[in-house]
Amino acid sequence: METITNKPCVQCGFCCKKTPCGYGKWNAEKHQCEYLISLQKGANFEIFGCEKYSEIVKDPNSVVSPAFGAGCCMSLCNTDRDNNFRAVVNGNANLSRVIDAGVPK
């Protein structure tokens, strides 16, 4: 059996900018989940988090969804992700779950 791996999550907010999870709420004005918050912003990157993270992880049903930090399945043409990854690799951004794999140059 072949193992399939995702690229590491770099908290670019892409998922939450496309659709909210079951715990989220869509903000039509911002075109993203209401609970998506900026944690760190630099010249060429922005690290996002979930305002409801602490509440969500207490729910045993949240093990599968949302998949916090499980990896990125939408890395192609995702410039926000590329910018965050470069910032992490260069030491300009801080993430707790970044794995040294698939580093964009």
Task: Tell me the mean pLDDT in the region 45-67.
Answer: 85
Q: Kindly tell me the number of DSSP H helices and DSSP E strands found in the chain.
A: 3, 4
Let me know: does 19 contact 26? Beta carbons within 8 Å.
Answer: yes
Q: Is residue 100 part of a domain?
A: no
**pLDDT reported for residue 98:** 39
Q: Is residue 99 part of a domain?
A: no
**pLDDT reported for residue 76:** 79
Q: Is residue 6 part of a domain?
A: no
Of residues 29 and 8, the one with the higher pLDDT is: 29
Q: What is the pLDDT of residues 4-27, one digit of tens each?
A: 666 788 889 999 999 999 999 999
Residue 70 predicted with pLDDT over 80: no
**pLDDT reported for residue 101:** 35
Q: Is residue 4 part of a domain?
A: no
Q: Is residue 54 part of a domain?
A: yes
